[in-house]
Amino acid sequence: MTNAIIDSIVSRSTTKYYDPEVALSDEQIRELVRIGTTAPTSFHLQNWRFIAVRTPEAKARLFPIAWHQPAIIEAAVTFIVCGQLADSSVIPERLAPLVEAGIMPAKMVPEWEIPARDLYMAYPQRQRDEAVRTGTFGAAAMIYAARALGLGSTPMIGFDAEAVAREFALAKDEVPVMLLSIGAALPKNWPQKPRRPVADVLQFA
Ligand SMILES: Cc1cc2nc3c(=O)[nH]c(=O)nc-3n(C[C@H](O)[C@H](O)[C@H](O)COP(=O)(O)O)c2cc1C
Protein backbone atom coordinates (compact mmCIF):
# COMPACT_ATOMS: atom_id res chain seq x y z
CA MET A 1 0.00 0.00 0.00
CA THR A 2 1.72 3.26 -1.04
CA ASN A 3 0.14 6.64 -1.02
CA ALA A 4 1.40 10.09 -0.02
CA ILE A 5 -0.80 10.39 3.07
CA ILE A 6 0.10 6.97 4.39
CA ASP A 7 3.77 7.69 3.67
CA SER A 8 3.62 10.83 5.79
CA ILE A 9 2.00 8.88 8.63
CA VAL A 10 4.35 5.92 8.62
CA SER A 11 7.54 7.91 8.06
CA ARG A 12 7.04 10.34 10.98
CA SER A 13 9.25 10.32 14.03
CA THR A 14 9.61 12.70 16.96
CA THR A 15 12.11 15.50 16.44
CA LYS A 16 14.63 16.27 19.16
CA TYR A 17 16.96 18.62 17.30
CA TYR A 18 15.62 21.63 15.42
CA ASP A 19 17.32 24.22 13.25
CA PRO A 20 16.80 27.37 15.36
CA GLU A 21 17.39 29.57 12.29
CA VAL A 22 14.20 28.39 10.57
CA ALA A 23 11.08 30.34 11.54
CA LEU A 24 7.48 29.87 10.47
CA SER A 25 5.38 32.86 9.48
CA ASP A 26 2.17 33.61 11.34
CA GLU A 27 0.40 32.59 8.11
CA GLN A 28 2.10 29.17 8.16
CA ILE A 29 1.20 28.79 11.85
CA ARG A 30 -2.41 29.71 11.09
CA GLU A 31 -2.50 27.13 8.31
CA LEU A 32 -1.21 24.38 10.64
CA VAL A 33 -3.96 25.22 13.12
CA ARG A 34 -6.57 25.37 10.37
CA ILE A 35 -5.55 21.85 9.36
CA GLY A 36 -5.67 20.77 13.01
CA THR A 37 -9.23 22.03 13.33
CA THR A 38 -10.41 19.75 10.53
CA ALA A 39 -9.96 16.83 12.97
CA PRO A 40 -13.15 15.26 14.34
CA THR A 41 -14.60 16.24 17.73
CA SER A 42 -17.40 14.73 19.74
CA PHE A 43 -20.76 16.32 18.75
CA HIS A 44 -18.69 18.77 16.67
CA LEU A 45 -17.84 20.53 19.94
CA GLN A 46 -14.52 21.86 18.59
CA ASN A 47 -13.51 22.28 22.23
CA TRP A 48 -9.92 23.31 21.61
CA ARG A 49 -7.63 26.33 21.55
CA PHE A 50 -4.04 26.61 20.40
CA ILE A 51 -1.51 29.06 21.80
CA ALA A 52 1.38 29.50 19.37
CA VAL A 53 4.52 30.26 21.36
CA ARG A 54 6.92 31.64 18.76
CA THR A 55 8.60 34.84 19.96
CA PRO A 56 11.86 34.68 21.95
CA GLU A 57 10.04 36.33 24.87
CA ALA A 58 7.18 33.83 24.93
CA LYS A 59 9.60 30.90 24.47
CA ALA A 60 11.62 32.16 27.45
CA ARG A 61 8.44 32.08 29.57
CA LEU A 62 7.57 28.54 28.52
CA PHE A 63 11.06 27.00 28.64
CA PRO A 64 11.54 26.83 32.46
CA ILE A 65 8.05 25.38 33.00
CA ALA A 66 8.52 22.77 30.28
CA TRP A 67 11.41 20.87 31.81
CA HIS A 68 13.90 23.13 29.99
CA GLN A 69 13.31 21.07 26.85
CA PRO A 70 15.49 22.58 24.10
CA ALA A 71 12.74 22.17 21.48
CA ILE A 72 10.85 25.03 23.14
CA ILE A 73 13.67 27.43 22.24
CA GLU A 74 14.89 25.84 19.02
CA ALA A 75 11.71 24.84 17.19
CA ALA A 76 9.99 27.55 15.19
CA VAL A 77 6.84 27.27 17.29
CA THR A 78 5.49 25.34 20.24
CA PHE A 79 1.73 25.09 20.49
CA ILE A 80 0.09 24.85 23.87
CA VAL A 81 -2.72 22.55 22.77
CA CYS A 82 -5.68 23.24 25.03
CA GLY A 83 -8.75 21.07 25.32
CA GLN A 84 -11.87 22.67 26.78
CA LEU A 85 -14.04 20.71 29.21
CA ALA A 86 -16.97 19.31 27.20
CA ASP A 87 -19.98 21.60 27.65
CA SER A 88 -23.17 20.74 25.79
CA SER A 89 -24.54 24.30 26.09
CA VAL A 90 -22.19 25.44 23.29
CA ILE A 91 -23.64 22.92 20.84
CA PRO A 92 -26.37 25.16 19.29
CA GLU A 93 -23.73 27.81 18.56
CA ARG A 94 -21.25 25.25 17.19
CA LEU A 95 -23.89 23.63 14.96
CA ALA A 96 -25.37 26.91 13.67
CA PRO A 97 -22.97 27.11 10.70
CA LEU A 98 -24.01 23.58 9.62
CA VAL A 99 -27.66 24.57 9.78
CA GLU A 100 -26.98 27.78 7.84
CA ALA A 101 -25.07 25.80 5.21
CA GLY A 102 -28.01 23.45 4.81
CA ILE A 103 -26.00 20.44 6.02
CA MET A 104 -28.04 19.83 9.16
CA PRO A 105 -31.77 20.50 9.61
CA ALA A 106 -32.38 22.93 12.50
CA LYS A 107 -34.69 20.46 14.22
CA MET A 108 -31.78 18.05 14.60
CA VAL A 109 -29.78 20.37 16.88
CA PRO A 110 -31.53 19.22 20.10
CA GLU A 111 -30.95 15.63 19.00
CA TRP A 112 -27.24 16.33 19.47
CA GLU A 113 -27.45 18.71 22.42
CA ILE A 114 -29.61 16.52 24.67
CA PRO A 115 -27.52 13.33 24.48
CA ALA A 116 -24.37 15.43 24.93
CA ARG A 117 -25.90 17.00 28.05
CA ASP A 118 -26.75 13.55 29.41
CA LEU A 119 -23.31 12.21 28.55
CA TYR A 120 -21.19 15.00 30.02
CA MET A 121 -22.84 17.53 32.26
CA ALA A 122 -23.06 15.48 35.48
CA TYR A 123 -19.69 13.81 34.86
CA PRO A 124 -16.56 15.97 35.31
CA GLN A 125 -14.26 13.07 34.40
CA ARG A 126 -16.01 12.63 31.04
CA GLN A 127 -15.80 16.38 30.40
CA ARG A 128 -12.06 16.21 30.98
CA ASP A 129 -11.59 13.00 29.00
CA GLU A 130 -13.26 14.70 26.04
CA ALA A 131 -10.99 17.75 26.39
CA VAL A 132 -7.97 15.45 26.21
CA ARG A 133 -9.35 13.47 23.25
CA THR A 134 -10.14 16.67 21.35
CA GLY A 135 -6.73 18.21 21.94
CA THR A 136 -5.04 14.97 20.98
CA PHE A 137 -6.94 14.63 17.70
CA GLY A 138 -6.11 18.22 16.78
CA ALA A 139 -2.46 17.79 17.66
CA ALA A 140 -2.26 14.53 15.69
CA ALA A 141 -3.59 16.20 12.55
CA MET A 142 -0.99 18.96 12.95
CA ILE A 143 1.81 16.42 13.49
CA TYR A 144 1.04 14.63 10.23
CA ALA A 145 0.46 17.86 8.35
CA ALA A 146 3.86 19.05 9.56
CA ARG A 147 5.43 15.84 8.31
CA ALA A 148 3.74 16.23 4.93
CA LEU A 149 5.14 19.77 4.74
CA GLY A 150 8.67 18.50 5.48
CA LEU A 151 8.66 19.75 9.09
CA GLY A 152 9.51 17.91 12.29
CA SER A 153 7.30 17.81 15.38
CA THR A 154 7.53 16.95 19.07
CA PRO A 155 4.49 16.17 21.19
CA MET A 156 5.41 16.85 24.82
CA ILE A 157 3.92 16.01 28.18
CA GLY A 158 7.08 17.14 29.96
CA PHE A 159 5.75 20.38 31.39
CA ASP A 160 4.20 21.77 34.59
CA ALA A 161 0.52 21.93 33.67
CA GLU A 162 -0.45 24.28 36.50
CA ALA A 163 2.41 26.66 35.72
CA VAL A 164 1.58 26.67 31.99
CA ALA A 165 -2.09 27.38 32.76
CA ARG A 166 -1.09 30.28 35.01
CA GLU A 167 1.64 31.75 32.80
CA PHE A 168 -0.43 31.67 29.60
CA ALA A 169 -3.75 32.58 31.26
CA LEU A 170 -5.70 29.46 30.34
CA ALA A 171 -9.38 29.68 31.21
CA LYS A 172 -10.75 27.59 34.09
CA ASP A 173 -12.31 25.14 31.64
CA GLU A 174 -9.09 24.68 29.63
CA VAL A 175 -6.74 21.71 30.05
CA PRO A 176 -3.21 21.99 28.62
CA VAL A 177 -3.38 18.64 26.82
CA MET A 178 0.13 18.71 25.42
CA LEU A 179 2.81 20.95 24.03
CA LEU A 180 3.55 20.46 20.35
CA SER A 181 6.75 21.86 18.89
CA ILE A 182 7.00 22.18 15.11
CA GLY A 183 9.95 23.34 13.03
CA ALA A 184 12.76 22.33 10.71
CA ALA A 185 14.33 19.04 11.86
CA LEU A 186 18.11 18.67 11.72
CA PRO A 187 19.58 15.56 10.05
CA LYS A 188 21.15 14.31 13.32
CA ASN A 189 17.74 13.25 14.70
CA TRP A 190 17.24 9.58 15.49
CA PRO A 191 15.75 7.35 12.81
CA GLN A 192 12.33 5.92 13.40
CA LYS A 193 12.03 3.55 16.36
CA PRO A 194 10.86 -0.03 15.83
CA ARG A 195 7.31 -0.79 16.91
CA ARG A 196 5.73 -3.60 18.88
CA PRO A 197 4.51 -6.28 16.48
CA VAL A 198 0.93 -5.88 15.27
CA ALA A 199 0.22 -9.39 16.56
CA ASP A 200 0.92 -8.13 20.10
CA VAL A 201 -1.43 -5.16 19.89
CA LEU A 202 -4.26 -6.36 17.63
CA GLN A 203 -7.11 -8.50 18.82
CA PHE A 204 -9.71 -9.61 16.32
CA ALA A 205 -13.21 -10.02 17.72
C1 LIG B 1 1.74 12.19 24.82
C2 LIG B 1 3.21 12.25 24.45
C3 LIG B 1 4.08 12.93 25.27
C4 LIG B 1 5.43 13.03 24.92
N5 LIG B 1 6.25 13.82 25.68
C6 LIG B 1 7.51 14.05 25.26
C7 LIG B 1 8.34 15.01 25.91
O8 LIG B 1 7.94 15.67 26.87
N9 LIG B 1 9.59 15.19 25.42
C10 LIG B 1 10.06 14.51 24.34
O11 LIG B 1 11.22 14.75 23.94
N12 LIG B 1 9.31 13.60 23.69
C13 LIG B 1 8.03 13.36 24.12
N14 LIG B 1 7.24 12.49 23.44
C15 LIG B 1 7.77 11.75 22.29
C16 LIG B 1 7.89 10.25 22.58
O17 LIG B 1 9.02 9.98 23.37
C18 LIG B 1 7.95 9.51 21.22
O19 LIG B 1 6.73 9.73 20.53
C20 LIG B 1 8.17 8.02 21.39
O21 LIG B 1 9.44 7.75 21.95
C22 LIG B 1 8.06 7.31 20.04
O23 LIG B 1 8.99 7.84 19.14
P24 LIG B 1 8.57 8.46 17.74
O25 LIG B 1 7.55 9.53 18.01
O26 LIG B 1 9.83 9.01 17.16
O27 LIG B 1 8.00 7.36 16.91
C28 LIG B 1 5.90 12.36 23.77
C29 LIG B 1 5.00 11.67 22.97
C30 LIG B 1 3.67 11.63 23.29
C31 LIG B 1 2.71 10.91 22.36
- CA of 112 from ligand 1 middle (Å) equals 35
Partners of 82 in beta bridges: 49, 176
Tens digit of each residue's pLDDT (9 = 90 or more) over 61-82: 999 999 999 999 999 999 999 9
Beta strands in 19-93 (DSSP E): 48-53, 77-84
Q: Cα(155) to centroid of ligand 1, in Å?
A: 6
CA of 148 to the centre of ligand 1 (A): 19
In the chain, at which residue ranges do the beta strands (DSSP E only) sit? 48-53, 77-84, 152-156, 174-183
- Cα(67) to ligand 1 centroid in Å equals 14
Q: Which of 114, 117, 95 is closest to 106 using CA atoms?
A: 95
Name every residue whose Cβ is closer than 8 Å to that of residue 143 and which is 6 or more positions away in sequence: 12, 153, 155, 180
The pLDDT score that the predictor gives to residue 1 is: 61
Which pLDDT tens digit goes with each residue over 10-43?
A: 999 999 999 999 999 999 999 999 999 999 999 9
- pLDDT at site 123: 98
For residue 175, the model assigns a pLDDT of 98
CB under 8 Å to 63, separation ≥6 — which residues? 69, 72, 73
Answer positive or negative: Cα dihedral of 158, 174, 27, 31: positive
- Among 13, 156, 196, say which to mutate for ligand 1: greatest number of ligand atoms within 8 Å of CB: 156
Give dist(CA 118, CA 131) in Å, integer.
17
Mean pLDDT of 155-184: 98
Could you give the percent of the chain with pLDDT greater than 90? 99
* Structure confidence at residue 195 as a pLDDT band (50, 70, 90): very high
The Å distance, Cα 157 to ligand 1 centre, comes to 8
pLDDT reported for residue 140: 98
The closest of 188, 146, 192 to 17, measured between CA atoms, is 188
C-alpha 92/C-alpha 120 separation (Å) is: 16
Would you say the CB of residue 14 lies under 6 angstroms from ligand 1?
Answer: yes
Model confidence band, residue 192 (pLDDT cutoffs 50, 70, 90): very high
Does the reported pTM lie above 0.95? yes
Please list the residues that pair with 180 across neighbouring strands.
79, 155
* Residue 1 burial class via C-beta count within 10 angstroms: exposed 0-12, middle 13-18, buried 19 and up: exposed
pLDDT at 5 over 80: yes
Contact 82, 37 (CB under 8 A): no
Other C-beta atoms lying within 10 Å of the C-beta of residue 78: 28
Q: Which amino acid residue places its CA nearest to atom 1 of ligand 1? A: 157
User: Does the Cβ of 13 fall within 6 Å of ligand 1?
Assistant: yes
On the question of pLDDT at 114 being above 70, the answer is yes
Q: For residue 97, what pLDDT is reported?
A: 98
pLDDT at residue 2 tops 90:
no
Percent of the chain past pLDDT 70, that is, above it, reads: 100
Supply the residue whose CA is at minimum distance from atom 25 of ligand 1.
Answer: 14
Beta carbon of 110 within 6 Å of any ligand 1 atom:
no
